Amino acid sequence: MVQYYNRLDASFGALADATRRGVLVQLAQADASISDLANTFRMTLTGMKKHVSILEDVGLITTTKVGRVRTCRLGARAFDDEAKWLESYRQLWAARFDALDSVLEELKAKDQNSERQKR
């Protein structure tokens, strides 16, 4: 179906889940093992493993295994590209309404003109 032409799909997708957002926030406090995370979010190890893999795939976290425990930590990139997209969209959005504003200004000016002419 949708092949991920766009990496944004994957990373916004990663964000669209409360558990995964929670994991990111927890990892910002301290590194954690998969068991730790599974425990925090009341979920099986296997279930948490999947979330961790997703976050790792999009590069938001990294993991290393030493002995039998795999430790998860925040990845090198935050949401740079994603924030950039949001920001540029917000500018487009603002521009759109600025344009509307200037139309309204214009109309208002014309209106005042006609008011003046009436007098």
What is the binding site for DNA (CB under 7 A)?
Answer: 1-2, 13, 16-17, 19, 33-35, 38, 43-47, 49-52, 54, 65-71
Q: Which stretch binds a second copy (CB under 8 A): 4-12, 36-44, 51-59, 103-111?
A: 4-12
CB closer to DNA, 13 vs 87: 13
- Alpha-carbon distance of 21 to 23, in angstroms, equals 5
CB closer to a second copy, 40 vs 85: 85
93 binds a second copy (CB under 8 A): yes
What number of CA atoms fall less than 13 Å from residue 103's CA on the CB side? 6
Are the CB atoms for 7 and 58 separated by under 8 Å?
yes
85 binds a second copy (CB under 8 A): yes
Are the CB atoms for 104 and 97 separated by under 8 Å?
no
Among 45, 69, 95, 104, binds a second copy (CB under 8 A): 95
Dihedral of the alpha carbons of 60, 64, 69, 71, in degrees to the nearest 10: -40
